[in-house]
Copies of this chain bind each other. A is one copy, B any other.
Amino acid sequence: MPKQVDHDERRRLIADAVCALIDEQGLEAATLRDVAARADVSMGAVQRCFRTKGEMLQFALAHIGHQVTARAHARLRAAPAQSPASTVGHLAHEIALLKTRHRAQARTWLAFLAAAAVDPALAAGLRTSYTDLETLLTDLIADAVDTPDPAHHAHTLLALTDGLTAHVLIGQRTPAEAEHLLHAHLSRLWAHPGE
């Protein structure tokens, strides 16, 4: 058995480079050459890992989707003792990617979201992550309040976080304002859970 490399690990390395470039200059800046340079590998290596550029982007989308959902799951595991309501709050805050620390992920996510509007393959990848997050939120909301349709509130909450994140990214809201709006929405949810 000759030279062997960890293809999956390399794929993740390249996906990180893709996301970094998208964060800084948008999706169209993720060219094969620039991605290779950013990941500090040769273009040939990138082409070995992914047959086409589209395949690379799809993998990068799944990669960042997994990062976000994994962080959400981790957040849950790390705080099992809190009340269900505050858990939902923390989780929504995490998903909204409002923290400056996660601004890069938010920008990348938004870029993929727009691309998915005209690319069914990317849309399918995004839906996988969204469905995961919705399941998570639905279960939590069902625990937190007595409502006949927890999924309804989960869907609304997810749309709100996405909208707020976008508005923060273009400077229409400050992170603090978005945080406040999100908190207020949740407060109203706990106070009046009725369908």
In the assembled complex, A50 has its CB within 8 A of some CB on chain B: no
Residues of B within 8 A of A37 (CB): none
Contacts of A173 in B (CB 8 A): 155, 159
Is A118's CB within 8 Å of the partner chain B?
yes
Q: Which of the segments A62-70, A74-82, A83-91, A185-193 contacts the partner chain? A: A185-193
Instruction: Find out whether the CB atom of A156 lies under 8 angstroms from the CB atom of B127.
Output: no
**Contact (Cβ within 8 A) A123 B162:** no
A26 touching B161 in the complex, CB below 8 Å, given contacts A126-B172, A173-B155, A184-B152: no
Query: How many Å from the CB of A169 to the closest CB on chain B?
Result: 4
Give the contact-size bracket for chain A: 35 or more
- Tell me which residues from 175 to 195 in chain A have a Cβ below 8 Å from any Cβ of chain B: 177-178, 181, 184-185, 188, 191-192, 195
Q: Are A164 and B172 in contact (CB under 8 A)?
A: no
A56: min CB distance to chain B, Å: 16
Q: What are 27 A-B pairs with beta-carbon distances under 8 A?
A: A25-B118, A26-B114, A26-B119, A27-B114, A28-B28, A107-B117, A110-B113, A110-B114, A114-B114, A114-B115, A116-B170, A117-B169, A117-B170, A127-B170, A130-B170, A130-B172, A131-B172, A152-B184, A156-B185, A159-B166, A159-B167, A159-B178, A162-B166, A163-B163, A163-B164, A166-B166, A192-B192
Interface residues of A (CB under 8 A from B): 24-28, 107, 110-111, 113-119, 123, 126-127, 130-131, 152, 155-156, 158-164, 166-167, 169-173, 177-178, 181, 184-185, 188, 191-192, 195
Minimum-distance CB pairs A-B, first 8: A159-B163, A114-B114, A163-B163, A162-B163, A123-B170, A26-B118, A117-B169, A159-B164
